[in-house]
Structure 1
Amino acid sequence: MMKAVVLDADDTFRVSEIDEPVVGPSEVAIRVAYAGVQYGDVLVREGHFPIPRPFVPGFEAAGEIIAVGEGVDEARIGEQVVALIGGGGYAEVVTAPAVLAINASGVDSRTAAGFGWVTPTAYDLVDTVAGVRDGDSVLVHAAAGGVGSLAGQFAVAAGAQRVVGVVGNVGQVEYARRFGYHEVLTRDQFPDGLGEETFDVILDPIGGDTRVASLARLAPHGKIVVYGNIATFEPVTVSANDLLMHGQSLMTYNSNLASQTRPQRLADSAARAMALVADGSVRVDVTAEYTLADVETAIANLAGGVTRGKSIVGIG
């Protein structure tokens, strides 16, 4: 038996005693030290994912591999990893696809948990999808969040000449400035506070009116990359003809889908991102640590826009 946080049918999170999971083929079992808090937890809590209850949430877990399944090298036992998983992270033991158990021996376990999904997501948004290059101008929404605080750093590392962040409130402005942003605006200052400025790349997890306003701020041949809908799930209609006239592109990124359809590609991106964190080029900022009993508060704080950087949960 082990301790785990269970989300029940009544939408309540409870610390419970449940059976330890059994490692399957191509999987590893991990003794969890810390689990990361991420937006997938919010979506599950709010019912956007049709996941049967009871369910153990937690989509990123850092710790030590204690067992391997068929087809996995036994030499991995004892390896320090962070696992990108489909749930189960808020528990003392979790199983994960071996390919998505990313070696984290170069960082401490708190940083590894903070690395989670946000770091490979930020890396892919900037380097893989948008292909930020020397001299580009980049605008990042939700710049004080987990992905945003990393995307600014990756954009600078990729050679962007100007990197602008947009945050939810004035209390987040100075925090976001720590991560490579040349200028930071609040949501109510966007877009008027930018004058007539346009951008080569815009990263948008917000949606709604913000997405419409962002499209109007694309430079010729610019790219907007959509990777979430924090504000609203209402669709934004875009004319492909209008994009074509200006050589612009609307692109999307879905890391959860990538984990299912192209797991090795996601793992490769995660490994490259991990190397940049390990050598100090990019910093994962863990700003809050919770216990298993406080998971509901951690998720509520993330949903409410209170969280800066990355929150983690200590296990045990």
Structure 2
Amino acid sequence: MRAIILDSDDNYRITELDEPVPGPGEVAIRTAYAGIQWGDTMVRDGHFPVPRPFVPGFEASGHVIAVGEGVDEGRVGEPVAALTTAGAYAEVVTVPAVLALPAGSVPLRTAAGFGWSTPTAYDLVHHAARVRAGESVLIHAAAGGVGTLAAQFAKLAGAGRIVGVVGSPRRADYAARFGFDQVLLRDDFPANIGDERFDVVLDPVGGRTRQAGLQALAPHGRLVAYGNISSHEPVLADANDLLMAGKSLVTHNSNLLSRTHPDRLADSARQALELLARGRIRIDITAAYDPEELGVAVQRLSESATNGKSILRIADRLGTSS
């Protein structure tokens, strides 16, 4: 089969590899599209060290073509949206069967954009922060994949006020399409929130932004940390101070959840996928790239030069499948 590898010189190349065979509890998928996501920039830049050459790609859509031991053979031919730890930028990828989600009526192009962002946003709102009706929510990186979906899930959960924080006026205009009541610029945060306090803060940024977020919490508020986009410097929080103020600092790690409790991640993903199929949420795919353009696509993502979700065409460009 043909696949894209990330080589030791940080360049992407198309090459021929043996087609993978599903192991116990796995399925093999003929890839139609693959989602491009922030993890691609982290792997390319060495933040997640992996042996090179490496077949990247963490989100795929396509049809199941084979199943491993213990998996229902009736799944062969099923259209799926799949989450994986590698290998989606190839004609065939193997994934745990539990994380190959039946796509149903969702088009494969959209299913590729579903990716990790959608179940992550669902879990942030419903399980980590437990947003209640009438509560106020502050969402950092509001124009990103998780941010735009978290706003939609928070709105469905009955949030009373949803405020987003973004890095530029262009991204503020984009985020405003997804149900935010107000969108603020990061350079002005936290000064631009004044005395307003929030019941929930969703923070993938880290560093000073996280410290300011803790200060911006209302009594009994919850800050959920789920990344460190800007800085890996430690953020220290005194448990006694949090206790006296009635504030909580919670973390969420979807990648870890996929390894420790994949059934829980899959359950959230199925519920989010159902909302997508019913038109209750939307995924905004704004760019589709050919395999030869993957390096450009990842670079544009790392520079915040794109809005919405980017995907890679696999079946029509890398292989001959339809």
Offset of residue 92 of structure 1: 0.8
In structure 1, give the amino acid aligned to 2:258.
S
Q: In the alignment, which residue of structure 2 is the partner of 1:228?
A: 227
Conservation of the 8 A alpha-carbon contact between 1:139 and 1:199: yes
Instruction: Check if 1:160 corresponds to 2:159.
Output: yes
Identity of aligned residues (%): 62
Query: What secondary structure is seen at the aligned counterpart in 1 of 2:178?
Result: coil
Conservation of the 8 A alpha-carbon contact between 1:113 and 1:312: yes
Offset of residue 307 of structure 1: 2.3
Offset of residue 189 of structure 1: 2.3
Instruction: Check if 1:265 corresponds to 2:277.
Output: no
Q: Deviations over 1:242-297 (max 9, x none)?
A: 11111111000100000000000000000000011110111111111111111111
Q: In the alignment, which residue of structure 2 is the partner of 1:150?
A: 149
Offset of residue 165 of structure 1: 0.4
Q: Deviations over 1:42-99 (max 9, x none)?
A: 1111111121111000001000001111110011011110111010001111000001
- Alpha-carbon distance in structure 2 between the residues aligned to 1:142 and 1:219: 20
Q: In the alignment, which residue of structure 2 is the partner of 1:34?
A: 33
Q: Which deviates the most, 133-142 or 186-195?
A: 186-195
Query: What secondary structure is seen at the aligned counterpart in 2 of 1:5?
Result: strand
Q: In the alignment, which residue of structure 1 is the partner of 2:108?
A: 109
- Alpha-carbon distance in structure 2 between the residues aligned to 1:312 and 1:166: 25
Structure 1 outlier segments of 4+, above 4 Å: none
The alignment's TM-score, normalised by the length of structure 2, stands at: 0.96
5 Å-filtered alignment, 1:196-275, equals 196-275=195-274
- Alpha-carbon distance in structure 2 between the residues aligned to 1:271 and 1:313: 23
Instruction: Check if 1:53 corresponds to 2:56.
Output: no
5 Å-filtered alignment, 1:270-289, equals 270-289=269-288
Q: In the alignment, which residue of structure 2 is the partner of 1:98?
A: 97
Conservation of the 8 A alpha-carbon contact between 1:4 and 1:292: no
Conservation of the 8 A alpha-carbon contact between 1:30 and 1:65: yes
- Alpha-carbon distance in structure 1 between the residues aligned to 2:288 and 2:191: 37
Conservation of the 8 A alpha-carbon contact between 1:145 and 1:307: no
Q: In the alignment, which residue of structure 1 is the partner of 2:82?
A: 83
The alignment's TM-score, normalised by the length of structure 1, stands at: 0.98
Q: Which deviates the most, 38-47 or 195-204?
A: 38-47
Q: Which deviates the most, 12-21 or 28-37?
A: 12-21
How many corresponding residue pairs?
Answer: 315
Q: Deviations over 1:15-67 (max 9, x none)?
A: 11211111111110001010001111111111111211110000010000011
Offset of residue 12 of structure 1: 1.4
- Alpha-carbon distance in structure 2 between the residues aligned to 1:19 and 1:314: 20
- Alpha-carbon distance in structure 1 between the residues aligned to 2:310 and 2:239: 39
Query: What secondary structure is seen at the aligned counterpart in 2 of 1:30?
Result: strand
Conservation of the 8 A alpha-carbon contact between 1:152 and 1:179: yes
Q: Deviations over 1:78-128 (max 9, x none)?
A: 111011101000111100000100111121011100000000000000011
- Alpha-carbon distance in structure 1 between the residues aligned to 2:238 and 2:37: 32
Gaps (5+ residues) in structure 2? 318-322
Conservation of the 8 A alpha-carbon contact between 1:207 and 1:230: yes
After superposition, the CA RMSD in angstroms is 0.8
- Alpha-carbon distance in structure 2 between the residues aligned to 1:168 and 1:307: 13
- Alpha-carbon distance in structure 1 between the residues aligned to 2:159 and 2:197: 14
In structure 1, give the amino acid aligned to 2:265.
L
Offset of residue 299 of structure 1: 1.2
- Alpha-carbon distance in structure 1 between the residues aligned to 2:230 and 2:250: 19
Q: In the alignment, which residue of structure 2 is the partner of 1:18?
A: 17
Q: In the alignment, which residue of structure 1 is the partner of 2:174?
A: 175
- Alpha-carbon distance in structure 2 between the residues aligned to 1:124 and 1:224: 14
